Chains A and B, each alone.
Chain A
Amino acid sequence: MGANLSRVYEGDDGRPPAGYPGLADIPENCIAGIFRHLSPLDICKLARLNRAFKGAASSDLVWAEKLPVCYQDMLSKLPLSKGQFLPKKEIYALLCKPISLDNGTKEVWLDKATGGVCLAISARAMAITGIDDHRYWRWIPCEESRFHEIAYLQQLWWFEVDGVVKFQLPAGEYSLSFRLRLGTSARRLGRRVQVFNQVHGWDLKPVQFCLSTSDGQHATRGYYLDQAGEDGPVGDARGKWTDYHVGNFVVENENKLTEVKFSMTQIDCTHSKGGLSLDSVSIVPSKLQKETENKHAGCYS
């Protein structure tokens, strides 16, 4: 046992030369000690420096600490219980790719830079009022969606979308957002174009976004999805997929399932609304949350 300490190199005067030992001289297990304090991406970047770095970069001790507490739960969702006996680094890499849950209607993955657990819930997993009525909603295939399809609203008065997700999340703070776009895309004469002719109603009243957890946390935000202009609605955000940040919640007990309910409603029936694409809801560690980019989405709590 014990580190393999390099013998002190004897220089001309019996003392070690200046600069010895350096980073190049310390043994693999000491490099592993430094790697415990670096991010997964930094470790992968430095793995090719020399043999000791390569060895340390594969160390189970280093990667065991990068894996979230729920990693075995995540592995169990993979087909053929792949990965149970892989080295920890390979498990980490495996879990950075999205894992399908609930018949492909949800996904979970690790953020590769931080090891944070992220969830996405597709529109298919949500309860959408009027979804079965083709006068109101259509399912459209979409390459820009991780679920390969989106729900497109043509027009209706009672706009309500509800969803719920249950997962054993590691302790920490998380942000929840709805991914939406005004308008849709279509093919005209062989070219893809964006189509906004059905977008209406979103500049009149805000949409209410809510989330709540089974342990009593709540958040609510209101957003105008479109901006009122002098000659009618004008929105720079039209056509761009935007993450509408609903709020944050905290997971304290990582030993039980966290249940989060979320909803999006605009049920003022004095006006109709339409021309909206709904992709998914995402839940990510709050430090990964980008602030809602839609500058024109006036928002209030």
Chain B
Amino acid sequence: MAEDPTAAMAKECKVRLKISDDTIFEVEYAVAMQSQMLKNALSDTGTDGTVPLHNISSEIMAKVVEYCAYHVNAANTISEKDVKIWDQEFLKDLDQATLFNLIMATQYMVIHNLQDLICQTVADRIKDKSAEEVREIFNIQNDLTPEEEEEIRHENQWAFEEEGWPEIQEEVRLEG
């Protein structure tokens, strides 16, 4: 594990990221370190070169950097409650395509806190819906064979079985 950089280095050192349309993002070292993937890449190559991130657009990269920069700064200075409020603001105007792009970007760049935030948001939107509703809302085509579907139904039966010990409904005749 690379040693933590000194505070001075963290402030002055910039990391260059080349994204999908070949534009370059320059981010502070401490901000880049929020990504486990960049942390690993830079510990091998050092910070002189440019890290290619061809699959990430500038719009998404901007959002990722916005989040990471805030969280690096907030780490020891802002209350948890205020950070949560900022996170909700951050999420507010994101459309669905952006949310899913962010999920993929944070998976690739390995940024756990942002990935958790976005995944939780999406999970909250689907958890109360039936499978049919989710299929319809998100336009998910079924690419399973009937055999595969049957296998899934069988595998997951345990989750839908009634449990508990039945109160036997019976004719009640009171005696005494």
Contact = CB atoms under 8 A, between A and B. Distances in A.
Interface of A: 2-3, 5-8, 16, 18-27, 29-30, 33-42, 44-51, 53-54, 57, 93, 96-97, 112, 143-146, 185, 188, 191-199, 239-241
Contact of A241 (B107, B142, B144, B167): B167
A8 B152 contact: no
| Range for the number of chain B residues in contact with chain A | 35 or more
A26 B104 contact: yes
Nearest to B168: A144
Contact of B171 (A25, A34, A47, A191): A191
B176 to A, nearest CB: 2
A25 B96 CA distance: 12
B141 A48 contact: no
Nearest to A192: B170
A112 B161 CA distance: 10
Given A34-B122, A48-B153, A241-B167, A27 B175 contact: no
Given A26-B100, A54-B152, A194-B173, A48 B126 contact: no
Interface in B11-59: 20, 37, 55-57
B42 to A, nearest CB: 16
A8 B100 CA distance: 12
A22 B97 contact: yes
B175 A197 contact: yes
Contacts of A192: 168, 170-171
Interface of B: 20, 37, 55-57, 96-97, 100-101, 103-105, 107-108, 115-116, 119-120, 122-124, 126-127, 130-131, 134-135, 138-144, 148-149, 152-153, 155-156, 158-160, 163, 165-168, 170-176
A93 B173 CA distance: 41
Contacts of A30: 100, 103-104, 107
A47 to B, nearest CB: 5
Most buried by B among A6, A21, A30, A53: A30
16 contacts: A5-B105, A21-B101, A22-B97, A24-B140, A33-B103, A33-B119, A34-B122, A35-B123, A37-B124, A45-B131, A50-B140, A50-B141, A51-B143, A112-B163, A194-B174, A196-B176
